[in-house]
Amino acid sequence: MRRTGGPAQGCPAACPRTLSRVNATDRTPADLLRSALAADPGRPLVTFYDDATGERVELSVATFANWVAKTSNLLQGDLAVAPGDRVALLLPAHWQTAVWLLACASVGVVADVGGDPAAADVVVSGPDTLEAARACSGERVALALRPLGGRFPQTPEGFVDYAVEVPGQGDRFAPFAPVDPDEPALVVAGREFSGAEVVELARAEGAGDRVLSGLSYDTWDGVCAGLYGPLANGGSVVLCRHLERLGEEALAKRIEDERVGVVRR
């Protein structure tokens, strides 16, 4: 972890001590999001860059939580998942992937990052992994990963298009059954974590920095730096896809412009 200087005074990311303490009793990632929403719904939580397309999207806690609620309703309602079911996420580090991780946590299903579609109850796939995703015998969801959450020009056969299905979902979510923090919640790089373990390990990342992460989501370090760590500690993340395409001078400017305190790549 490389520190590059703290954020400017007055920036929401510059006030971690107040925000991080509100999570002291939280046991699941969904609890962390609820606490962040209660503490300061307007502060930035996820800022996403795609350096292959030039896309930049910034989501406040409130906007991110709204996407999570809609996606959770899609999972629990239309896709009929139940606690303990397994959702294979064949997705890159992306703001919509972060939404799906928290939606799975909200419903109580296992988010299996890069998991085997054939062993999953539901598969969620980006445009580059659709063929592999067809091995899932359950529901299949496709994400175009286009700027502004755009849909596919034509829905892939055998899939539902997330961008078509999610807008009509409810803005509030309540699970049918309470989420057990001690049950499996996440599988990444073959390792299984309970919801409580995700929270505990994410808290250990430290105070509420603004983190720039160019790591993929296929390791614990990647999902922690790119989502769970900032969320657990009152921070925020600048999540960068295709960061290798950015030169050092441009990266230094982004770090300054985004008031980044920690860089992970």
Q: Find the CATH number of the domain harbouring 69.
A: 3.40.50.12780
**pLDDT score for 254:** 98
Query: Each residue of 140-153: pLDDT tens digit?
Result: 999 999 998 999 99
Residue 161: name the closest of 179, 183, 139, 177 by CA: 139
Residue carrying structure tokens 């971690």: 16
Domain that residue 250 falls in:
2-264
Q: How many domains does the chain divide into?
A: 1
Query: Each residue of 114-164: pLDDT tens digit?
Result: 999 999 999 999 999 999 999 999 999 999 999 989 999 999 999 999 999
pTM, 2 dp: 0.91
Between CA 16 and CA 111 the distance in angstroms is: 28
Residue 75: name the closest of 144, 9, 2, 173 by CA: 173
Between CA 197 and CA 195 the distance in angstroms is: 5
